[in-house]
């Protein structure tokens, strides 16, 4: 049974930083962060391949809108995934979700597609004010 629990959301002024955490249990091949703003579709933010023994282990993908500002990572034990968010902008305001999946063959081509992910957390709100 895979379980994901996010934490670390909050309100921050534009230009500031937040770090989101996702406590995970159960085995999956990859994890990611998604966000959804009111009235908008859910979008992929970042993804990381977390299953060992494969050539893509540790590889990451980012949405163009967050490249250079956000960093996805996982602790060595594989229990917690992070999203370090720097230089935050008001347009980053959204509910952020962590997700995980177990369809390794599709990850390289579809890492930021929500349909690839089987498991989801409950979400944590991030609000960036100007």
pLDDT tens sequence across 40-84: 999 999 999 988 877 788 899 999 999 999 999 999 888 899 999
> Mean pLDDT across the stretch 8-36?
96
Q: Report pLDDT for 54.
A: 79
Residue 8 in tokens: 């670390």
| Averaged pLDDT score across all residues of the chain | 94
Q: Please state, as a whole number, how many other Cβ atoms lie within 10 Å of the Cβ of residue 23.
A: 14
Task: Provide the pLDDT confidence category of residue 105 given band limits of 50, 70 and 90.
Answer: confident
- Residues contacting 119, CB < 8 A, separation 6+: 2, 3, 4, 26, 28, 99, 100, 101
105 in helix, strand or coil? helix
Q: Report pLDDT for 96.
A: 98
């Amino acid at each position: 049974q895979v379980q994901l629990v996010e934490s670390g959301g909050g309100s921050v002024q534009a230009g500031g930083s937040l770090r989101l955490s996702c406590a995970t249990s159960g085995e999956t091949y990859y994890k990611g962060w998604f966000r959804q703003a009111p009235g908008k579709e859910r979008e992929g933010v970042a993804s990381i391949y977390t299953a060992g023994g494969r050539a893509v282990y540790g590889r990451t993908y980012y949405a163009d809108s967050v490249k250079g500002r956000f960093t996805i990572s996982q602790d060595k034990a594989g229990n917690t995934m992070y999203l370090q968010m720097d230089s935050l902008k008001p347009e980053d305001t959204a509910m952020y979700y962590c997700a995980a999946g177990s369809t390794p063959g599709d990850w390289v081509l579809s890492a930021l597609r929500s349909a690839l992910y089987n498991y989801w957390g409950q979400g944590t709100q991030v609000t960036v004010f100007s």
